[in-house]
Amino acid sequence: MQTLPHITPPITLEKELIEERDLLFSILSSMGEGLFVVDRDGKIVLLNTVAQKMLQIGEDATGENFIDVVISLKGEEQIPVVDHFLNRVLKQGQVVIIELSDDFFFKSKSGPPIPVAVTASPLKGEDLSGAVIVFHDVTKEKNVDKVKSEFLSVAAHQLRTPLGVMRWNLELMLNSDQKVMTGEKTKETLLQIYKSNQRMIKLVNDLLSVSRIDQEKVMDRPSLTDVVQVTKDVISELTIDAEKKGVRIQFEENPGIPKMMIDSGRFRDIMVNLIANGIKYNIKDGKVTILLSTDGTGITLAVSDTGIGIPDKDRPRIFQKFFRAENAVLNATEGSGLGLYLVRSYVEGWGGQIGFESEMGKGSTFTIKLPVKIEALTS
């Protein structure tokens, strides 16, 4: 007797296909990367939820041409259709890999550009039937890469000037006739070398402080500190710089400013950065005003200047490390872009607040509010 082959009932087969489809969608949805599957004509057959969320597109993109739905950019310029990477995949069967260094972006018609790394591979059966495009957002990696580049640029630029001054003065001493190099001349030359050395030390110390903050290894050494006296000491130290610039410093203190348990060295750094900026970016015959006040629960410090102000477009980035406003760079070539980053890190680490107001051509005011009971900065 002949045995008939087993035939899976249509209902069971359909159920198995649905289960396999659902399993596939579940796997694709759990991926951390965005994914598109396109057919041989470049039309979207499938996209996962990560791709939808990242590019702000819906499932209705299925059936549309990938190149029309997802705009590809090289930097800020849209890539022409003829040069699109998908053509190389579908027409030549190539695997295309786009890396962080390629400065590549995806953008939908409604969403913002997103920096991406992409791998696009052909789907091959008997013939080339389509392609799989996998991509992920490289915003964080791009920011890290940018910070590295800014660090190298700042370090090279800021170290080059003092090193150049030191070299020039040392060559002057070595090559000059001993009779020409009088005691006064020697002292002046050594003073220039000393100042250049101090600038290098400050830059290195700022970079080390930033590194400790980023690694959450900042340790406070709080002591009972007379913040009024620290402020007066800093003003005294910076008076010569202010006079050279033609800037007047005015200090106003309200009565009853309490002493605070605070790291006096870091508080001094805050005052130096704010007042020095007020001098550096001021105008001739300008003024820097420092106001210390208290409401009993804490102190408020306001440092105002009559300087160049901060452009609107640069304000969101003013506390970012290595960032300097465009007009600040033009006004004073020296500067690491680390001072305000350190100030904000210390203030917020103590449980305080910092903000600023600015008007182009009229100046800026930076305001700090610190509680009487300071939270220690610890790792």
Domain residue ranges of the chain, discontinuous segments joined by +: 10-137, 143-214, 223-371
The reported pLDDT for the residue numbered 187 is 72
CATH architecture designation of domain 143-214: Orthogonal Bundle (1.10)
For residue 2, the model assigns a pLDDT of 55
Phi, psi of 195 (to 5 degrees): -65, -40
Task: Please tell me the predicted confidence (pLDDT) of residue 7.
Answer: 53
Tell me the average pLDDT across 24-32: 61
Interaxial angle between packed helices 139-175 and 183-214, expressed in degrees from 0 to 180 and rounded to the nearest 10:
170
The DSSP bridge partners found for residue 300 are 293, 369
Give the 3-state secondary structure of residue 285.
Answer: coil
pLDDT value at residue 161: 63
- What is 223-371's CATH superfamily? Histidine kinase-like ATPase, C-terminal domain (3.30.565.10)
Q: If you average pLDDT over each of 24-38, 125-139, 300-314, which comes out highest?
A: 300-314
The pLDDT of residue 153 is above 70 = no
Higher pLDDT, 124 or 344: 344
Confidence category of residue 378, pLDDT binned at 50, 70, 90: very low
CA pair distance 28, 35, nearest whole angstrom: 8
Share of the chain above pLDDT 70, in %: 72
Of 23-37, 48-62, 92-106, 303-317, the range with the lowest mean pLDDT is 23-37
- Tens digit of each residue's pLDDT (9 = 90 or more) over 241-270: 899 899 999 999 888 888 888 889 889 989
Q: Which residues contact 86 (CB under 8 A, 6 or more apart)?
A: 38, 42, 66, 67, 120, 131, 133
Tokens 């499938």 label which residue?
46
Quick one: pLDDT at residue 376? Answer: 46
**How confident is the model over 319-342, as a mean pLDDT?**
77
CATH 2.60.40.10 fits 10-137, yes or no: no
State the CB neighbour count (10 A cutoff) for residue 190: 13
Q: Using CA of residue 151, residue 153, residue 158, residue 164, what is the dihedral sign?
A: positive
Work out the average pLDDT over 9-31.
Answer: 59
